[in-house]
């Protein structure tokens, strides 16, 4: 079991004494509702059974020591509770450091430093929220280790998002941290990001699987155009607010958008606004279709989501488009789209059991021929939220 391996590594590096605790927090895949979470819309992600593991122990001084089994060549990286400034090289420790900084900023003082060992089995840069899982994981570890009992899992998601926005410089929405913190086995989370009200919807895919395909094109949300998209959507909202009384783009139906869209002066901002409005409505329809057991409609909405992200929101990339185009050609594919922040990363597809092998073979052959790379496939299971692991 991975938790035991992380614990063993911790003991090897830092010694066996004291109260060493091990925790896990999952990554996520979003089924539909992309780039809606900072536009007051709905999202429909689910937590995965893969994620990040952490072993941690309090120290008697104010030092922080970090070790990741994913970046062994970095060795033990040292910092301190008195040195909360982001590492300029963007080291992974910026994520746990950011969460500690956010705890302190909320008056939850960390009186002692920590030794930390980590392992994640989410492929790095794949868009399956390795960073959000690390933020939620750090939050859970701090809550449990320092006894901040009043913090809810939603609080941990919000602290994670706050730290990512303000310490790591990515202006992300709440989806990833919420999906990691609130995951539930075999369910996706239908979340209204305007109010944070949510509902669990069972994902029963009779005779089909969720297949995540990694384009092996690493995305980087901070350096990518993610923050630009956010600003462009905000501009669309601002222009629309001159003609219609709305708080977010999620307040509009497609018809209302069409009636008022000329208020958005800039053509790019109009396209971004269109995506945000239509994608939110697609997400609402998709969840209804899933509840009605109408997987075909769910798949069509996934496909339409991809077209909109490709053409209007422009967060896809040619490599990912190859994977989606090839997937659409296979009759056993119910739906396929880019998932997550975009600019690389993964696609999510719903594939009939009997077509999974064909899916892998055809996508691999086409991708090798057209892109010159080999994609990776993960047939994923929907898992629970974070937990302490007893080992
Ligand atoms: C990233 C962000 C999320 C969300 C998605 C796009 O994963 O962290 O908040 O905006 O992109 O849907």
Question: What pLDDT, on a 0 to 100 scale, did the predictor assign at position 223?
Answer: 59
Question: What pLDDT, on a 0 to 100 scale, did the predictor assign at position 209?
Answer: 98
State whether the beta carbon of 35 lies less than 6 angstroms from ligand 1: yes
State whether the beta carbon of 314 lies less than 6 angstroms from ligand 1: no
- What are the phi and psi torsion angles at 389 (to 5°)? -105, 125
Listing DSSP states for 14-69 in one string gives H-S-S--EEEEEEEEEESS--S-TTTT-EE-EEEEEEEEEEEEEE-SSSEEEEEET
By the 10 Å C-beta count (0-12 exposed, 13-18 middle, 19+ buried), 225 is classed as middle
Length of the chain (residues): 391
- State the pTM of this model: 0.97
Angle between helix axes 226-240 and 267-291 (nearest 10 degrees) is 90
Structure tokens given for 14: 């830092």
Averaged in consecutive runs of 10 residues, what is the pLDDT profile of the chain (391 residues)? 96 98 98 98 98 98 97 95 88 96 97 97 89 98 97 98 93 97 98 98 95 89 78 98 98 98 98 98 98 97 98 96 98 97 95 98 98 97 98 89
With contact defined as beta carbons under 8 Å apart, do 71 and 85 qualify? no
The C-alpha R_g of the chain, in whole angstroms, comes to 21
CA distance 30 to 3: 25
Question: In this structure, which residue's CA is closest to atom 11 in ligand 1?
Answer: 341
Atom of ligand 1 nearest to the CA of 173: 9
Question: What pLDDT, on a 0 to 100 scale, did the predictor assign at position 250?
Answer: 98
Cα–Cα separations (whole angstroms), residue 1 to 13, 263, 339, 384, 391: 19, 57, 29, 17, 9
Maximum Cα–Cα distance across the chain: 67
Question: What pLDDT, on a 0 to 100 scale, did the predictor assign at position 90?
Answer: 77
Catalytic, 176? Answer yes
CA distance 172 to 246: 22
Question: What pLDDT, on a 0 to 100 scale, did the predictor assign at position 307?
Answer: 98
* Region at 100 (left for phi over 0; alpha for psi -120 to 50; beta for the rest): alpha
Residue 113 alpha carbon to ligand 1 centre in Å:
31
State whether the beta carbon of 287 lies less than 6 angstroms from ligand 1: no
State whether the beta carbon of 173 lies less than 6 angstroms from ligand 1: yes
Question: What pLDDT, on a 0 to 100 scale, did the predictor assign at position 126?
Answer: 84
Question: In this structure, which residue's CA is closest to atom 9 in ligand 1?
Answer: 173
| Residue 199 CB neighbours (<10 A) | 12
Structure tokens given for 204: 């029963």
């Amino acid at each position: 079991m991975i938790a035991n391996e992380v614990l063993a590594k911790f003991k090897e590096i830092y010694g066996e004494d004291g109260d060493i605790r091990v925790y896990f927090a999952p990554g996520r895949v979003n089924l539909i509702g992309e780039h809606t979470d900072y536009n007051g819309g709905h999202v429909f992600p689910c937590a995965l059974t893969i994620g990040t593991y952490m072993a941690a122990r309090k120290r008697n001084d104010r030092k922080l020591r970090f070790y990741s089994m994913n970046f062994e060549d970095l060795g033990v990286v040292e910092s301190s509770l008195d040195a909360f400034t982001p590492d300029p090289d963007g080291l992974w420790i910026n994520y746990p450091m950011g969460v500690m900084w956010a705890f302190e900023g909320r008056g939850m003082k960390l009186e002692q430093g920590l030794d930390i060992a980590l392992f994640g089995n989410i492929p790095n840069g794949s868009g399956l929220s390795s960073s959000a899982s690390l933020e939620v994981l750090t939050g859970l570890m701090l809550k449990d280790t320092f006894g901040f009992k009043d913090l809810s899992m939603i609080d941990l998601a919000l602290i994670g998002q706050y730290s990512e926005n303000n310490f790591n410089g990515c202006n992300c929405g709440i989806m990833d941290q919420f999906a990691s913190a609130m995951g539930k086995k075999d369910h996706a989370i239908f979340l209204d990001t305007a109010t944070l009200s949510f509902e669990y919807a069972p994902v029963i895919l009779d005779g089909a699987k969720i297949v995540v395909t990694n384009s092996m094109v690493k995305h980087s949300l901070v350096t990518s155009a993610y923050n630009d998209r956010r600003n462009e959507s905000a501009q669309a909202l601002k222009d629309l607010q001159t003609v219609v009384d709305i708080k977010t783009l999620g307040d509009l139906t497609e018809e209302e958008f069409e009636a008022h869209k000329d208020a958005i002066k800039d053509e790019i901002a109009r396209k971004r606004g269109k995506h945000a409005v239509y994608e939110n409505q697609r997400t609402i329809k998709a969840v209804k279709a899933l509840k009605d057991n109408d997987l075909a409609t769910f798949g069509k909405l996934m496909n339409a989501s991809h077209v909109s992200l490709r053409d209007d929101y422009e967060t896809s990339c040619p490599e990912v488009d190859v994977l989606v185009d090839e997937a659409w050609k296979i009759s056993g594919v119910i739906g396929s789209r880019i998932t997550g922040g975009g600019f690389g990363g993964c696609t999510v597809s719903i594939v009939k059991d009997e077509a999974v092998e064909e899916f892998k073979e055809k996508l691999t052959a086409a991708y090798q021929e057209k892109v010159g790379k080999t994609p990776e496939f993960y047939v994923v299971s929907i898992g629970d939220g974070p937990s302490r692991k007893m080992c």
